[in-house]
Amino acid sequence: MKSREELIAELHELRQEHDSLKAAFDNYIAEHNRNEKALKESEEKYRMLVENLNEIIYTLDYKAVITYISPNIEVITGYTPAEVTGRCFVDFVYPEDINGRMEQFHKILSGVSEPSEYRMLTKKGAPVWVRTSARLFKKEGCVTGIQGVLTEITDLKQAEQELRKAKEKAEENNRLKSLFLANLSHEIRTPMNGILGFAELLKTPELTGKSKENYISIIKESGDRMLDTINHLMDISKIEAGALTVLNSETNINEQIIYIYNFFKPEVRQRDIHFSFKNGLPDDQAVIITDREKIYVVLTNIVKNAIKYTEEGTIEFGYHIRDNNLLFFVKDTGIGISKEKQEIIFDRFRQVDESHTRSYDGLGLGLPISKAYIEMLGGKIWVESAQKEGTTFYFTLPVNYSARTLKTKDRLHEHQKPSEKYDFSNITILIAEDEKFNQLYLEEMLKSTNAKIIMAGNGQEAIDYLEKNSDIKVALIDIKMPVLDGLETARLIRNKFKNILLVAQTAYSQQHEIETAFKAGFDEFISKPIDCHKLFKLIKTRIN
Ligand code: ADP
Choice from 231, 299, 314, 351 to test ligand 1 binding pocket (greatest atom count within 8 A of CB): 351
pLDDT band at residue 88 using 50, 70 and 90 as cut-offs: very high
Per 3-state DSSP, the chain is made up of helix, strand and coil in percentages (nearest 5) of: 50, 20, 25
- Testing ligand 1's pocket by substitution, the residue of 352, 365, 395 carrying the most ligand atoms inside 8 A of its CB is 352
Question: What residue type is assigned to position 252 of the chain?
Answer: N
**pLDDT value, residue 206:** 86
Cα 165 from Cα 172, distance rounded (Å): 10
Count of all residues that appear for the chain in the document: 544
- Phi, psi at residue 407, to the nearest 5°? -80, 65
**pLDDT one-digit tens code per residue, 514-541:** 777 888 888 888 877 677 888 888 888 8
- pLDDT (tens digit per residue) in 29-75: 999 999 999 989 888 888 777 777 778 999 999 899 999 999 989 99
DSSP code at position 110: T
Q: Ligand 1 centre from 364 Cα, in Å?
A: 7
Note the pLDDT tens digit of each residue in 135-187.
998 888 788 899 999 999 999 999 999 999 999 999 988 888 888 888 888 88
Which residue's CA lies nearest to atom 13 of ligand 1? 351
The answer on pLDDT for 408 being more than 60 is: no
What is the CA(252)–ligand 1 centre distance, in A?
27
The pocket around ligand 1, CB under 6 angstroms, is made up of: 301, 305-306, 309, 332, 334-335, 337, 345, 351-352, 362-367, 391
Residue 338 CA, distance from chain mean position: 22
Q: Which stretches of 36-140 are assigned E, i.e. beta strand?
A: 56-61, 66-69, 116-121, 127-139
Which tops the pLDDT comparison, 362 or 408? Answer: 362
Q: Say whether pLDDT at 412 is over 60.
A: no
Task: Tell me the backbone φ, ψ of residue 472, rounded to 5 degrees.
Answer: -80, 125
Instruction: Point out the least confidently predicted range of 88-92, 93-97, 521-525.
Output: 521-525
Distance from the first to the final alpha carbon of the chain: 160
Per residue, the 3-state secondary structure of 146-190, as one string, reads: EEEEEEECHHHHHHHHHHHHHHHHHHHHHHHHHHHHHHHHHHHHH
Ligand 1 midpoint to CA 267 (Å)? 18
| Radius of gyration in angstroms for the set of CA atoms belonging to the chain, rounded to a whole number | 43
Residue 346 Cα: closest atom of ligand 1: 6
Mean of all residue pLDDT scores within the chain: 87
Which of 231, 305, 346, 389 has most ligand 1 atoms within 8 Å of its beta carbon, as the pocket-test mutant? 305
Using the atom order of ligand 1, give the atom closest to the CA of residue 367.
6
Tell me, in angstroms, the distance from the centre of ligand 1 to residue 531's CA. 26
- HSE on the CB side for 205, CA within 13 Å? 0
Tell me the CA–centroid distance for residue 291 and ligand 1, in Å. 24
What pairing do the DSSP bridges indicate for beta strands 116-121 and 142-152? unpaired
Ligand 1 nearest-atom number relative to CA 393: 23
Going from the Cα of 358 to the center of ligand 1, the distance in angstroms, rounded, reads 12
pTM: 0.58
User: Which residue's CA lies nearest to atom 23 of ligand 1?
Assistant: 306
